[in-house]
Structure 1
Amino acid sequence: MRMKWKKSTAAAVLLFGLAAVSLMVHSVSEIMAVTPVFAGEEQELPTIVIDAGHGGFDGGATGVDGIVEKDLNLSIARKLYDLFTVNGFDTVLTRDSDETLEDPSLTTIRKRKNSDIHNRLELAKSYDNCILLSIHQNKFPQSQYFGAQVFYGPKNPQSEALAKITQRRMVEMLQPENTRQYKPCGDSVYLIYNAPMPALLIECGFLSNPDDAYKLIDADYQKKIAFAIFSSTAEYLGLQTPAETAVYRELE
């Protein structure tokens, strides 16, 4: 079994401010006067396990102009990793390169995919107090469908609460015209369906929709996605979030 991941150990208090500013490029937003603290009693921050869907032999969906899902998933996951890490969370990536976690001795694609997804779940389960965030992209035969959508795992009751916040923030920050609703995962989504911890599958957009697809390959838009997910988790944990403690100014 191959398991490679990044892990950072940082303070157990959310450290926002200049670190967050450094991750927001000028074309995204400027964040000022941020001094987050715990909304209630001081608490231990969970480990954040970030899963960049697919990888290696498994490219995932292919969109307009040959855009490959696995590459976008990893790019967004890395940006999300940086945000959580610099703000004091222990953070893990299930993969930090173009590879999977399957048993290399397996020979069929099906067995390799099953091994990969099982190993991702086992990695997440190795952390006693964690949140699992799996980054993916959507695709549909018709090109008119668009928008981010969040799916939550049914095994932990807190997953739905996190999904509700994340869907709302992604709509508010990315696509106000998006009317999609958060939904529970079915058992076909093995990783999230079987996760015992709060777990989300986040479909960041549709690779089959040209507008979505060209946004998704843009580094600034990927940072917006990462920031929306990060701030959703902060709100879920009862931390003062950017919406409450920051002044945003969209820059021309």
Structure 2
Amino acid sequence: MMMTLSGTAWAANQLKSVRVWPSPDSTRIVFDMAEQPSYSHFSLTNPNRLVIDLKSTATKIDFSSIKADGKLVTKVRTSSAPEKGTLRVVLELTRPVKPVLFPLSPTKPYGNRLVIDAFDTREPAKAVTAEEKAGKNRDIIIAVDAGHGGEDPGSIGPGKRYEKKITLEVSKRLARYIDSQKGMKAIMVRTGDYYLHPNKRSDVAREKQADLLISIHADAFTSPKPRGGSVWVLSMRRANSEIGRWMEQTERHSELLGGAAEVIENTNSEKFVARALLDMSMDRSMVESQAVAERVVKEMTKVTKMHKRKPVAASLAVLKSPDIPSILVEIGFISNPTEAKLLSTASHQDKLARAIFRGTADYFKAVPPSGTYFAAQSAERHTVKSGESLSVIASRYNVSVRDLKNTNNLKSDVVRIGQVLKIPSGS
């Protein structure tokens, strides 16, 4: 450390602070610099380390105070420099990582930065397959995405209220409401204070075979006057551009189309069939997105002022997957002093989360995906009237008497007036 301090007088740059953002499958380390950094790096094994050399750089940081106890990076320290004027920083690792380093220009509230992303090289967790998702009476899976995070604070409102913190709190509350509903399951896209690229967010939803992606954000404007919530869906123009991009990536056809890709694999018509299937998937998901958005707007109107009283279509990065129904919910304007204060309260966060949940649950109860618990509960029912028998009822709904008896656990053909019978699904 003395060597580092002795170079302060002639160093052209300064390492002002180090921030560590661990996430489930990577860790981001940010070096805050006085000037644009000049750097190089290399990896070492036995033990695993990542070494970063900062040219013409000095620092006054006490590295012993830096907390780095994540799953990948356990310690950040300095080491002997290879040459005078170079600051060598060492990241101690639990296992080998794939490092990605890049500088960032000043953007409020930050100045010059060097970003180090250390990605886990182990095999990722197995994604949910279409076959697993198609299980009988399965849960409806909702991917809940808390906007921004880590190095990306989002908008910063009066009183240093950070969008990334508010969106995470509302998302956690929304996930709890979803999990409390029998037949629904929440997947948190971001579980802590770390950065995820917008592309990765929709990828997580796809890996988990989500039925819907809900991304939570807080709006901001140059003027403090605007306030109120809004709900956004993918624009048709963005959807078409994404479909076109996917068509050039044939290796992703299987991922995007599931079992259908196996049928059309290695045929001259693959690209045309894939396009048709993706178009149908896009049409379905965009209709669903709009329907969910309308119900969420309706419920949010009951608990908060709305800036937009109808869903709005936009080309937003997190809504880039036309194969997955997706909505982006702006819960209010963090740039409005009154609303920023309100958004920071637990009671208002809970009201917003409950409203978003109600709108979502109402939609899926009305239009449940096949094979889900909701679908089984919404099966058509018939109340037995005078003069009706099992055979008469079976004939009316075009089902067999045997299926009707099995569905209702009947031991005989005898039914009573007023008895409610569940009609077999798929009839």
Alignment partner, residue 156 of structure 2:
62
Tell me by how many angstroms 1:133 deviates: 0.4
- Coordinate RMSD, CA, aligned: 2.2
Indicate which of 196, 204, 218 corresponds to 2:323: 196
Among candidates 296, 321, 336, match of residue 209 of structure 1? 336
- Determine helix, strand or coil for the equivalent of 2:231: strand
8 Å CA contact 2:202, 2:318 repeated in 1? yes
Contact in 2 for aligned 1:121/1:195 (Cα 8 Å): no
> By how many angstroms is 1:149 displaced?
0.3
Q: Which residue of 2 aligns with 1:181?
A: 309
* 2:215 maps to 1:91: no
Report if aligned partners of 1:152, 1:182 keep a CA contact under 8 Å in 2. Answer: no
Tell me the secondary structure at the aligned position of residue 51 of structure 1: strand
Distance 1:195 1:117 in 2: 14
The unaligned stretches of length 5 or more in structure 1 are 5-41, 102-115, 240-252
Q: Distance in 1 between matches of 2:199 and 2:307?
A: 33
Equivalent position to 1:120, from 184, 189, 201: 201
Is structure 2 residue 253 aligned with structure 1 residue 159? no
Equivalent residues of 2:154, 2:162 under 8 A apart: yes
Larger deviation, residues 130-139 vs 178-187: 178-187
Q: Partner of 1:26 in structure 2?
A: none
Does the 8 Å contact 2:232/2:314 carry over to 1?
no
CA distance in 2 between partners of 1:232 and 1:3 (Å)? 32
SS at match of 2:156: coil
* Structure of larger gyration radius: 2
Output one character per residue of 1:29-72: Cα deviation in whole Å (capped at 9) or x when no partner.
xxxxxxxxxxxxx9644201000000010000011111110000
Q: Which whole-Å deviations, capped at 9, do the CAs of 1:99-157 have from their partners, x for residues lacking one?
A: 123xxxxxxxxxxxxxx111111111113342100000000011111101000124422
Question: Per-residue deviation at 1:199?
Answer: 0.7
Higher relative strand content: 2
8 Å contact 2:143–2:212 — kept in the other structure? Answer: yes
Percent identical pairs in the alignment equals 27
Question: Higher mean Cα deviation, 159-168 or 84-93?
Answer: 84-93
Q: Distance in 1 between matches of 2:203 and 2:313?
A: 18
State the partner residue of 1:171.
301
Whether contact under 8 Å (2:227, 2:307) holds in the other structure is no
Answer whether contact 2:223 2:335 (CA < 8 A) is retained: yes
User: 1:237 is paired with a residue of what secondary structure?
Assistant: helix
1:59 partner SS? coil
Kept after mapping to 2: 8 A contact 1:186/1:193: no
Match of residue 236 from structure 1:
363
**Relative to structure 1, is the Cα distance of residues 173 and 71 closer, same or farther in structure 2, using a 3 angstrom cutoff?**
same
- In structure 1, what is the Cα distance between the partners aligned to 2:25 and 2:301? 34
User: Aligned-pair distance for 1:193?
Assistant: 3.2
Q: 145, 163, 167: which is aligned to 1:73? A: 167
Quick one: structure 1 residues 122 and 80, their matched pair in 2 at CA, closer, same or farther if it must change by over 3 Å?
same
Aligned to 1:137, what secondary structure does the other structure show?
A: strand
- Distance in 2 separating the partners of 1:3 and 1:236: 33
Distance 1:206 1:179 in 2: 9
Q: Is this contact kept in 1: 2:212–2:325, CA < 8 A?
A: yes
| CA deviation profile, 1:68-115 (whole Å, cap 9, x unmatched) | 1000000100111111112232211011110123xxxxxxxxxxxxxx
What code does the residue aligned with 1:132 have? L
Match of 1:49 in 2: 143
5+ residue gaps, structure 2, are 1-22, 27-135, 236-281, 367-427
Q: Is the 8 A contact 1:146 1:209 kept in 2?
A: yes
CA deviations on 1:166-206 (whole Å, 9 max, x unpaired) are 1111012223xx3523334422x112133422111000000
